[in-house]
A and B are shown apart, each in its own frame.
Chain A
Amino acid sequence: MQSANMLLRKIVRSSVLPFAAQHRMQKDLFPLSRTLSLSLRLEQDKSCEPTEKLDLDEWKKVMKSGLQEEVSETVSEPKELSSLAAARETLEMWRLAGRAVPENISEEQLKTFMECPSKSAKKKYLKYLHLKELRKKNDKRKMDEKRERRLEAQDQASKTDETKKSSFVCMWSSTMNKAYNWRAAQSMIFGQPLVFDMSYEKEMSVREVTNTVRQIVLSESCNRRSVDPFHIHFCNFKDDSLYHREFINQYREAWGKLLITVTDQCYTEIFPKDKLIYLTADSPKVMKTFDHDKIYIVGSMVDKSIKTGLSLARAKRLGLETAALPLEKYLLWTTGAKNLTLDQMMHILLTLKDTADWKKALEFVPKRKYCGFVNKPVKELKKTLDLINTLKHGRGREEVQKQFAKSYPKK
Chain B
Amino acid sequence: VQPPEKPLQAEEWNKLREGFQSPEIFEEVMLNSMIRCNSPIDVAKSLLTHLAKRNGDIAYNVLVKYLTLCVQQRQVSEIRDVYDIMKVRFKILESGAYKLLIKGLSSSDQWRMALALLEEVKKIMIPSRTCYESCIKAAIRHQEMKLAFELYDEMLAKDVVPTLGVLQSFFDFSRGIEDAELQKELFGILLYLRENQIYPHRTFMRSIKLWFESIPGANWRGRLTKIKDSGQCPVCNHQLEDSNLTEEEYSNLSERIIRDVIHGTDTFRKTSPQEFEAFQTFVESRLPFDIVIDGLNVSHIKPRKMQCENLFDAINCLAKENTRLLVLGRKHMLMNSSNWKREIMKEMQNKADFFFAENISEDDAFLLYATLRSGKHCKFVTRDFLRDHKACLPDSLTRHLFRKWQRGHQIVFSPAAEGRSIKFLFFSVFSQQPAFSYDCVVQTTGDTWHIPYKDVFEEKYSYQVPRKWLCIQQK
User: Do A and B interact?
Assistant: yes
Judge whether A19 and B57 touch: CB under 8 Å.
no
**Interface readout for A24-64 with B: 1 if CB under 8 Å, 0 if not?**
00000000000000000000000010011011101110010
Complex alpha-carbon distance, A90 and B266, angstroms = 41
Judge whether A14 and B42 touch: CB under 8 Å.
yes
Q: Is B7 an interface residue (CB 8 A)?
A: yes
Q: Is A309 an interface residue (CB 8 A)?
A: yes
Indicate the member of A54, A119, A309, A310 with the most B CB atoms within 10 Å. Answer: A309
Complex alpha-carbon distance, A67 and B88, angstroms = 12
- Residues of B contacting A51 in the complex (Cβ-Cβ under 8 angstroms): 53, 56
Complex alpha-carbon distance, A43 and B386, angstroms = 75
- Residues of A contacting B24 in the complex (Cβ-Cβ under 8 angstroms): none
Complex alpha-carbon distance, A203 and B264, angstroms = 13
Shortest beta-carbon distance from A168 to chain B in Å: 52
Smallest CB-CB separation from B42: which chain A residue?
A: A14
Shortest beta-carbon distance from A283 to chain B in Å: 8
Judge whether B89 and A86 touch: CB under 8 Å.
no
Q: Is A317 an interface residue (CB 8 A)?
A: yes
Judge whether A313 and B96 touch: CB under 8 Å.
no
- Residues of A contacting B45 in the complex (Cβ-Cβ under 8 angstroms): 10-11, 14-15
Q: Is A97 an interface residue (CB 8 A)?
A: yes
Q: Is A151 an interface residue (CB 8 A)?
A: no
Q: Is B268 an interface residue (CB 8 A)?
A: yes
Judge whether B94 and A312 touch: CB under 8 Å.
no
Shortest beta-carbon distance from B380 to chain A in Å: 23
Q: Choose among A7, A22, A317 the residue that contacts B85 (Cβ–Cβ < 8 A).
A: A7
Q: Choose among B56, B61, B265, B269 the residue that contacts A96 (Cβ–Cβ < 8 A).
A: B61
Judge whether B91 and A55 touch: CB under 8 Å.
no
User: Given A96-B61, A313-B269: A90 and B92 within 8 A (CB)?
Assistant: yes
Smallest CB-CB separation from B361: which chain A residue?
A: A316
Judge whether B84 and A8 touch: CB under 8 Å.
no
Complex alpha-carbon distance, A58 and B96, angstroms = 26
Smallest CB-CB separation from A283: which chain B residue?
A: B360
- Residues of A contacting B60 in the complex (Cβ-Cβ under 8 angstroms): 93, 96-97
Judge whether B266 and A313 touch: CB under 8 Å.
yes
Shortest beta-carbon distance from B104 to chain A in Å: 15
Q: Is A244 an interface residue (CB 8 A)?
A: no
User: Given A4-B88, A316-B268: A18 and B125 within 8 A (CB)?
Assistant: no
- Residues of B contacting A14 in the complex (Cβ-Cβ under 8 angstroms): 7, 42, 45
Q: Is A12 an interface residue (CB 8 A)?
A: yes
Q: Is B48 an interface residue (CB 8 A)?
A: yes
Complex alpha-carbon distance, A55 and B89, angstroms = 11
Indicate the member of B9, B49, B57, B82 with the most A CB atoms within 10 Å. Answer: B49
Q: Is B161 an interface residue (CB 8 A)?
A: no
Shortest beta-carbon distance from B378 to chain A in Å: 28
- Residues of B contacting A313 in the complex (Cβ-Cβ under 8 angstroms): 266, 268-269
Judge whether B6 and A90 touch: CB under 8 Å.
no
Shortest beta-carbon distance from B25 to chain A in Å: 10
User: Given A90-B124, A309-B269, A313-B269: A7 and B81 within 8 A (CB)?
Assistant: yes
Judge whether A96 and B94 touch: CB under 8 Å.
yes
Complex alpha-carbon distance, A295 and B53, angstroms = 73
Complex alpha-carbon distance, A203 and B359, angstroms = 25
Complex alpha-carbon distance, A3 and B82, angstroms = 9
Q: Is B64 an interface residue (CB 8 A)?
A: yes
Judge whether B49 and A11 touch: CB under 8 Å.
yes
Task: Kindly identify, within residues 129 to 155 of chain A, every residue whose CB is under 8 Å from any CB belonging to chain B.
Answer: none
- Residues of B contacting A317 in the complex (Cβ-Cβ under 8 angstroms): 266, 268, 272
**Interface readout for B323-362 with A: 1 if CB under 8 Å, 0 if not?**
0000000000000000000000000000000000001100
Shortest beta-carbon distance from A13 to chain B in Å: 10
Judge whether B52 and A96 touch: CB under 8 Å.
no
- Residues of A contacting B270 in the complex (Cβ-Cβ under 8 angstroms): 309
Complex alpha-carbon distance, A59 and B28, angstroms = 22
Shortest beta-carbon distance from B75 to chain A in Å: 11
Q: Is B59 an interface residue (CB 8 A)?
A: yes
Shortest beta-carbon distance from B231 to chain A in Å: 38
Q: Is B97 an interface residue (CB 8 A)?
A: yes
Q: Is A157 an interface residue (CB 8 A)?
A: no
Judge whether B360 and A284 touch: CB under 8 Å.
yes
Judge whether B57 and A59 touch: CB under 8 Å.
yes
- Residues of B contacting A93 in the complex (Cβ-Cβ under 8 angstroms): 60, 90, 92-94, 97
Q: Is B46 an interface residue (CB 8 A)?
A: yes
Complex alpha-carbon distance, A58 and B266, angstroms = 63
Q: Is A314 an interface residue (CB 8 A)?
A: yes
Q: Is A89 an interface residue (CB 8 A)?
A: yes
- Residues of A contacting B266 in the complex (Cβ-Cβ under 8 angstroms): 310, 313, 317
Complex alpha-carbon distance, A142 and B56, angstroms = 34
User: Given A11-B48, A12-B49: A94 and B94 within 8 A (CB)?
Assistant: yes
Q: Choose among B97, B125, B268 the residue that contacts A314 (Cβ–Cβ < 8 A).
A: B268
Shortest beta-carbon distance from B444 to chain A in Å: 35
- Residues of A contacting B46 in the complex (Cβ-Cβ under 8 angstroms): 11, 15
Judge whether B52 and A15 touch: CB under 8 Å.
no
Shortest beta-carbon distance from A61 to chain B in Å: 11
Judge whether A4 and B84 touch: CB under 8 Å.
yes
- Residues of B contacting A394 in the complex (Cβ-Cβ under 8 angstroms): none
Q: A15-B42, A18-B7, A90-B94 are in contact. List 7 more A-B contacts (CB 8 A).
A: A11-B46, A22-B6, A55-B52, A67-B91, A89-B91, A93-B93, A312-B360
- What would 9 A/B residue contacts be, using CB atoms closer than 8 Å? A3-B85, A11-B46, A14-B45, A51-B53, A55-B52, A58-B56, A93-B90, A97-B96, A284-B360
Interface pairs A-B: 5 shortest CB-CB: A313-B268, A93-B94, A96-B60, A7-B81, A15-B46
